[in-house]
Structure 1
Amino acid sequence: MSLSTYLVQRGARGTWQLRVPIPRALHAPGKPKERVKSMGTTDRRIASDRALAVLDEWKREWATARGEVVAMPAGLLRPTSDVSVPALVLAQHEALLQRLEDQRRALPADDEAQDAEMAKRAADLRRLTRRHADGDDASFRAMADRMISARSLPIVSGTTEYEALVAGLAESAIEALAIHQRRYSGELDVEPRSALIREERQRKADKAKPGETLLELFDRYAEQRLAEGRKRDDTLKQDRKVIEQFAAFVGTDRAITSIKPEHVRDYRDTLRQLPPKWRDRADMRGLSMREAAAKARLAEMPRTALSTVNKHLSTISPLFAWLIKERWDLSNPCNGLFHDKVRGKNPRPPLGTDRLNKVLASPLFSGFEADGKEHRPGEVCSNDWRYWIPLLCLFTGMRIGEAAQLRAEDVSKHDSGAWVIDIQHAPAKGQTTKSGQSRASVAHTKLVELGFVKFVEERRKAGGDSRLFPELVANDRDQLGAEPSAFWRDYLTRIGVKSGADGLGAHSFRHELADRLRVEVGLVDDQIAVALGHDQKSTTAGYGAVRQGTVRFLAPVIVQVRFDGVEFGNGGLLL
C-alpha cells in the first residue's frame, strides 16, 4: 500500500494526518485499531516527508511487539552514505603518499637510483598539473567511477557531488606528488597546501570519541536537567532539534573541544540568512544550511529574526556551560556572540473591549456559512473546540493547550457552589501542564450561562472518549492546542481583528482576563499570576502540600469580573 493511502486531510484548515491501521495481531479490547498523528502542515509534500519517518518508527515498534522484523517498502527507503567526498579525497591522498614512499624505499639506497626516482616523480607532477589546468581529468573520472563502483557509493555521474569528487581526486594526487618532492628536497616537516586536505585532516583529528559527540553529550545533559526538574520534556525535545541542526553544521562527529567561537559565529550568521522555518519549505528540501542560505540570499527571502538567532545560541550555550561545570577542559564558544539588546517582537496583547465585542459578534458566534468558512455569515452553529476553547480561556484564564485536553470528568461543582475545572497534569492520560502540576480553575458564571456545563453533560452521555474535544489531534510535539492556536490566528485575521504579526490569537482571551482582574477586581500582579496558574517563587511557597490558588480563593475573585462594556448579546453567542 502506498504512503498516499495513509495521508488524509482533516479539519477546517486541511491539516494532513497520518492514519495507519494497527496490525490485527496487536489489537486489544477497548483499544484503538488505528494510529493517528497530525503532520502539522497543510503542504502535501512536507507532510509526506514527515510521514516517512513516523511510519518507519511505527513499523519498527509493531515489529518489536510481534517479535519479528518487518522490512520497509522499497519505495519508502532512502539511500544514505556516511562517507563524504572530503573523506574519500583524504583517504586517496594518504594512500598515494604511502604508495610513493613504499616505492622509493623498495629502490636501491644509492643516490643515483633515488635521484632518478625523484626526477620521475617531478615529471609526473608537471604532467598531472598541466593536464588538470587544461581540464583533462579523464584519468580521475575513471578513478572516481572505480571508487563509486567498488564502494557502492550513492554518487551519480554528472552531479555536483560527482564533479567535486573528480576535482578532489585530482587535487589529492597533485598534492601527494608535491609533498613527496618537497620532503626529499629538505622540507622534512612538510604540510599540505591544499585547503581541502588540510580541513579534512583537521576534521579527522577533531573527531569525537565514542559517546562524546554533540548529540550524545546533549542527551546526557537533557537527562540530568529532566531529573532535576529544571526543564520539561517537550522543551528538551525542541532544544535537541537546535542541537541536531548545529551538529549537522559543524560536523555530527566533531569533538566538543574542537568547536571554537568562529564555528558558532559562522552558524549564527548562516542561520540569520535563512528564512523562518526554512526546513519546512518545499523549495529547500534536502539542502544543507549553507546551501539553503545561499539560495535565500539570491532570492532575497525574509530573514530569521535576531531574537530567534539568540534563542538558538541560548540553547547551545547552556550545554557548554554544563560541560564546563562537569570539569571538561574547554571554554564556552557562544560567549560574546549574542546579538545585543534584541527582544522578540511578537507580544501577546489582550483583545480589549472593542475587539472582543467584534469577535463575539462575528459569524463563529452568531452563525457561519460552513466548515472552513467560519468567517462568513450563515446558518451553521458550532458546538465544538472552535467555540468553547476561546471562551474557556476568557472565562477561566486557562491556556489553550490546557483547554484542548479537558475531559468530562474534569468538570464538577464545588461545595461552595462554583463550577470547577480541574486542569490535570496526567501524562498517562495525555494531559500535561506547563508547570508539571495539576491545579483547579473556576468557571465564571457567564461561561455556565452560555451552556458550558450543558455541553459537558452531553459529552458525558455520549460515552466513549471522555475528552471534551475528541476531534483534536496532537501535532508532532504531542500538543493538542496547536490546531486551535493556528485556527484562531487565521480566524481573527479573516474577521479583521488581527493584522500581521501583532501577537493577537487565542492566547489573547487569557490575557484579557488578566487585564479584567487587574482593572475590575483590583488584584495585584502576584494575585493575578496565581489566578492564571503561575506559581509564586518564595520561601512560603515551599511550605505545605496545598497548591497555590485554591477554589475558595479563586471563586469570589472570578465572579467579581464584570466584563464592563462587553456585549454578550447583540446577535452573538448562540448557545
Structure 2
Amino acid sequence: MINAYTDYELMLRARTDDANLRARRLDALRAALTSGDANLIEPAAKDFVVRHRLLVDAGSDEYRELCALMTRAEIEGLQRTLERDRGDFTGTPKDPIVKPATGTAREAAAPGETIMELFDTYARENPNQIKPDTLAQARRDVGLFVEYVGSTFPVYRIDKKAVREWKALLLRYPIKASETKAFDGMKLAQIVKHNETVKKPTISTTTVNRYLSGFSAFCTWLTNHGYLTANPAAAMFLKKSKEKTTKPFTVDEMNALFKSPLFTGCQNDEAPRFWSKPGNVLIRDHRYWVPLIMLYSGARPAEIAQLGIDDVREDRGHWIMHITTEGEGDKSVKTDGSMRVLPVHPELVNLGFLDYHAKAKEKGDKRLFPLAERNERGQMIADFSRDFPRYLTKIGLKDGRGLSLYSFRHGAADALRRAGFLDEQFGFILGHTSGTMTQRYGTLPQGMLEQRVELVNSISYPGLMVDHLKSVSAVGEAA
C-alpha cells in the first residue's frame, strides 16, 4: 500500500515536474542562444542534418546558424506549452522562424490534381502521339521539376519564376546524377550543392533543352485544358552551341578502328570488356555491319539494325536497302521522312554484305540482324550504342566527348559534301525530308533510283583501308 501510494503521489506530481523541466530547459536555451552555446540543441541538429541529408559540416557557419535557428524554434515551442499549462491558449509565435505559414505558402494541390496525377492523364491522352520511350523520358523530366517544387505544389502555381529557378539548377546538374553513389538519396537542389565538392561534369545545353522540351509539352496540355493561362516554359529554351558535340572520324582514326579486335578478331564476343583484347573470335553480327553500313550510307544505327531480310533486295539492277516500317517485325523510324530507299554501296558489296544477306536468307532468318534487340525503353541496339564509345576509349581513340556511332553518319555527310553535293541535294539520303507515300513503299522511278545510286556511290574516304576486313572474314568462314 505504501508503494502504491508513492506511485500515486508521483503521478500527481508528474505534470508539475514536467512543467518545471520544460521551464528549466527554456531558461537554459535562452542563455545558450545569448552566449552562442550549441551544446543543448546539437543532438537535435545532428539528427536533423542526417535525416534530411543536409550538406552542412559541423562547426561551419551554416551549422552554427542551423543550431541557432533550431534553438529559437524550440524556445517558441516551450513558451507555448507553459502558457497552456496556465490555461492560456491565445499565445502565438513572435519569432518569425516559427511564424505560421499563411496565404499561398500553405496551399496544396486538390485531390487528384497533383502535377504527376495530371501528367498521368496527359500520358493516357498522348495528344502528340509521341513514342513510349519519349513519353517515359518526359515523365522523368516532369518528375525532376516536382522534386524541386514539391509533390503537393498546385498546378496553377507553375509560373515562369518556378521554371526559371528549376532551369538554373539544371544548368548545374551533374551528368548521370541518379547513377552516382555520391548523390544517393539526394534531391535536385542537394545534388547541385554537393556537386560543388564532387565536381562531376554538368549536363549539356542540349540536355537542359530536352528537359525543358518534355516539360513544355506537358505545360501546353495544361494550358489547353485550363489548368494554366499560358505555358510558363515557352521561350525558356537555351540557345544551342554552334560547336558540334559529335565529330566525324578522321581517316587515321578509322584505319586504327578497323584494325582493332572488334573488327579483326577479339578474345570474346559476349562481354564488351573483351572486345578490345585480340583473339580469334570474329564478330560478324550487327556490331560489325552497323558501323560499316553507316559509313557508306549515312543511315542511323537503329534504322540499319531493324532491317528485315526482304528490306535488302535487288531493284532494276541495283541492290537497295529499304528503310521502312512496312513488313514484319517491330520497326520504327524517327520521322515519316526517314522512310527511304538507299542503294548498297559498292564497298559494302566488296566487304561481303550481300554474301552475309544471302546466308541469312538461306537460314530462314526474317531479320537481317536477329541478335539486334530493343531495350525496355524501346530503343534499338541501345546497349551497343552505349558500349561503342567505351570501346573507342579502351583502344585509345576517344578521350571525352566527340566520337560515337553517329560519327559515321557525320562522316558520310562530309563525304557527300567533298563529292561536290550541297546539303539540300543529299538531305533525303540521310532521312532529312518530309514523308511521302513514295518513300513509304519504296517505289521509285528509274531516274530517281539512278540519282540515289550516284549519291551513295560518291561516298568515299581517300586513304581508308578496309580491304583486309574481307580477307579476315574469308579466313573466319573457312575456319
Query: Structure 2 length normalisation: TM-score?
Result: 0.72
Match of 2:265 in 1: 367
Q: Given that residues 397 and 532 in structure 1 are in contact (C-alpha distance below 8 angstroms), is that contact kept between their aligned partners in structure 2?
A: yes
Change (3 A) 1:327 1:496: same
1:117 is aligned to none
Distance in 1 of aligned mates of 2:144 and 2:83: 37
Deviates further, 378-387 or 359-368: 359-368
1:293/1:347 CA distance change after superposition, 3 Å? closer
Asked whether the equivalents of residues 53 and 186 of structure 2 are also in contact (C-alpha less than 8 Å), the reply is no
Distance 2:49 2:412 in 1: 63
| Superposed counterparts of 1:152-171, under 5 Å | 160=51, 170=74
CA distance in 2, matches of 1:446, 1:524: 23
**How far, CA to CA, are the matches of 2:121 and 2:396 in structure 1?**
48
1:451 pairs with 2:352: yes
Cα distance change of structure 1 residues 214 and 492 upon mapping to structure 2, 3 Å threshold: same
2:112 matched to which residue of 1? 211
- Name the CA distance, whole Å, in 2 between partners of 1:526 and 1:160: 59
- SS of residue matched to 1:421: strand
Cα separation, 2, equivalents of 1:288 and 1:158: 14
Match of 2:383 among 483, 501, 513: 483
Conservation of the 8 A alpha-carbon contact between 1:356 and 1:566: no
The gaps in structure 2 that reach 5 residues or longer are 1-18, 33-38, 55-65, 474-479
Matched ranges for 1:507-522 at <5 A: 507-520=406-419, 522=420
The one-character-per-residue Cα deviations of 1:58-111 (angstroms, maximum 9, x if unpaired) are xxxxxxxxxxxxxxxxxxxxxxxxxxxxxxxxxxxxxxxxxxxxxxxxxxxxxx
- Residue 381 to residue 418, structure 1, CA distance change in 2 (3 Å): same
- Summarize the Cα distance change of 1:487–1:556 in structure 2 as closer, same or farther, 3 Å threshold: same
Q: Distance in 1 between matches of 2:157 and 2:95?
A: 21
Contact 2:266 2:282 in 1 (8 A): yes
Are 1:365 and 1:572, in contact at CA under 8 Å, matched by a contact in 2? yes
- Note the 1:529-548 alignment, pairs <5 A: 529-536=427-434, 545-547=437-439
**Residue type at the aligned position of 1:424:** T
Is 1:268–2:167 an aligned residue pair? Answer: yes
Q: Following TM superposition, by how much is the alpha carbon of 1:422 offset from its aligned partner in structure 2, in angstroms?
A: 2.7
SS where residue 163 of structure 2 aligns?
helix
Give the match for residue 192 of structure 2.
293
What SS class does the counterpart of residue 406 from structure 1 fall into? coil
Structure-2 residue corresponding to 1:245: 144
- The question of whether the paired residues in 2 share the 8 Å contact of 1:402 and 1:433 is answered with yes
Aligned with 1:556 (options 436, 448, 453): 453
- How many Å apart are 1:570 and its aligned residue? 5.6
Is the contact between residue 442 and residue 558 of structure 1 (CA under 8 Å) also seen in structure 2?
no
1:486 match: secondary structure? helix
Q: CA deviation at 1:179?
A: 10
State whether residues 389 and 398 of structure 2, in contact with CA within 8 Å, keep that contact through their aligned partners in structure 1: yes
Alignment deviations for residues 393-435 of structure 1 (CA, whole Å, 9 cap, x no partner): 1223221112222333332222x12222232336993321111
| Kept in 2: contact 1:362–1:572 (CA 8 A) | no
Q: Deviations over 1:203-260 (max 9, x none)?
A: 7742112332222333444555x4445x443222212111011112211221112234
What is the one-letter code of the residue matched to 1:248?
E
Is 2:441 the counterpart of 1:441?
A: no
Residue 374 of structure 2: SS of its match in structure 1? coil
Superimposed CA distance per residue, residues 522-552 of structure 1 (whole angstroms, 9 cap, x where no aligned partner): 433223111112224xxxx7xx732277554
Aligned to 1:525: 423
Q: Give the counterpart letter for 2:141 in structure 1.
A: V
Q: Letter of the aligned partner of 1:406 in structure 2?
A: L
* 1:230-379 to 2 correspondences below 5 Å: 231-330=130-229, 332-334=231-233, 341-343=239-241, 347-371=245-269, 372-379=273-280
Rounded Cα–Cα distance in structure 2 between residues aligned with 1:313 and 1:302: 20
1:506 is displaced (CA, Å) by 1.2
Q: Residue 348 of structure 1 contacts residue 507 of structure 1 at CA under 8 Å; is this kept in 2? A: yes
The answer as to whether partners of 2:249 and 2:403 remain within 8 angstroms in 1 is yes
Contact 2:306–2:369 at 8 Å: present in 1 too?
yes
- Cα distance in 2 between the residues matched to 1:176 and 1:248: 34
Mapped partners of 1:123, 1:246: distance in 2: 48
- Out of 471, 483, 494, which is 2:371 matched to? 471
Tell me how far apart the structure 2 counterparts of residues 176 and 270 of structure 1 sit (CA, whole Å).
39
CA distance in 1, matches of 2:383, 2:90: 71
The CA RMSD measured in Å over matched residues stands at 4.2
1:165-204 matches, cutoff 5 A: 170=74, 173-174=77-78, 193-195=95-97, 198=100
Alignment match, 1:460: 361
- 2:317 aligned with 1:417, yes or no? yes
Judge conservation of contact 1:472–1:483 (CA < 8 Å) in 2.
Answer: no
In the alignment, structure 1 residue 389 sits paired with structure 2 residue 290 = yes
AA in 2 matched with 1:527: Q
Supply the distance in 1 between the matched residues of 2:314 and 2:327 (Cα, whole angstroms).
24
Deviations 1:270-298 (A, max 9, x none): 33443211001123222222332332223
Distance in 1 of aligned mates of 2:328 and 2:79: 61
Cα pair 2:320 2:343 within 8 Å, conserved: yes
Distance 1:515 1:303, change over 3 A: closer
- Secondary structure of 1:475's match? coil
Deviation at 1:307, TM superposition (A): 4.5
Q: Deviations over 1:100-151 (max 9, x none)?
A: xxxxxxxxxxxxxxxxxxxxxx9999666435556768xx99xxxxxxxxxx
Residue aligned with 1:531, SS = coil
Amino acid of the structure 2 residue aligned with 1:560: N
